[in-house]
């Protein structure tokens, strides 16, 4: 979900990423270079237990197209990805995470829409803690790690 404006909380950008659809390698959609919202109409979409109004796949991809697929909220990402690998469902993950699963499981990441669905990951910090050294080091590590992956 995107950052929610709150008094006393600041958001520091860490890195940019793209949301992608994760499907089984044997899934009919796996042959596509990118997915249009209509392609998900009859799919079971696994999500985290967050309101659809806070999930970018809904607010920026499915809802504008009037598509409302069947969904199942799950707590465990490992179970979600195993269900995807078994072609029981599909899910949407950040590309950096989906790519990790693509290395070890029979799954494929596919772009959402022709231009993709770009996002930024933010660290949320209480304003009072913004100068705490270990938090600044954590953010710095996140930025450096993302640079190493994208370079």
Q: What is the dihedral of CA 137, 135, 55, 95, to 10 degrees?
A: 10
- Whether 78 and 84 have beta carbons less than 8 Å apart is answered as no
Domain regions of the chain by residue span: 17-119
Determine the Cα–Cα distance for residues 96 and 17; give it in Å rounded to an integer.
Answer: 7
What does pTM read for this prediction? 0.85
Output the CA–CA distances (angstroms, integers) from residue 71 to 8, 53, 126, 139, in the order listed: 34, 13, 33, 33
Tell me how far CA of residue 12 lies from CA of 56, 116, 119, 139, in angstroms: 19, 23, 14, 8
CATH architecture assigned to 17-119: 3-Layer(aba) Sandwich (3.40)
- Burial readout 74-85 (b: 16 or more C-beta within 10 A, e: otherwise): beeeeebbebbb
Residue 36 · residue 135 · CB < 8 Å: no
Q: How far is it, in rounded angstroms, from Cα 134 to Cα 138?
A: 6
Which residue, among 26, 34, 22, has the nearest Cα to 98 in the 3D structure? 22
10-residue mean pLDDT profile of the chain (151 residues): values are: 78 91 98 98 96 94 97 97 98 96 98 95 90 89 68 47
Task: Quote the pLDDT of residue 151.
Answer: 47
């Amino acid at each position: 979900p995107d950052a929610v404006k709150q008094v006393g909380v600041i958001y520091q950008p860490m890195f940019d990423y793209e949301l992608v659809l994760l499907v089984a390698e044997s899934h009919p959609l796996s042959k596509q270079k990118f997915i249009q919202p209509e392609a998900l109409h009859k799919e079971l979409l696994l999500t985290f237990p967050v309101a659809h109004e806070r999930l970018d796949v809904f607010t920026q991809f499915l809802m504008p197209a009037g598509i409302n697929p069947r969904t199942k909220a799950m707590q465990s990402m490992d179970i979600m990805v195993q269900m995807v690998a078994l072609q029981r469902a599909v899910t949407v993950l950040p590309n950096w995470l989906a790519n990790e699963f693509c290395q070890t499981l029979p799954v494929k990441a596919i772009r959402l829409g022709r231009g993709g669905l770009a996002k930024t990951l933010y660290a949320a910090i209480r304003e009072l803690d913004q100068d705490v050294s270990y938090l600044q080091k954590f953010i710095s590590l996140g930025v450096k790690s993302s640079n190493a992956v994208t370079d």
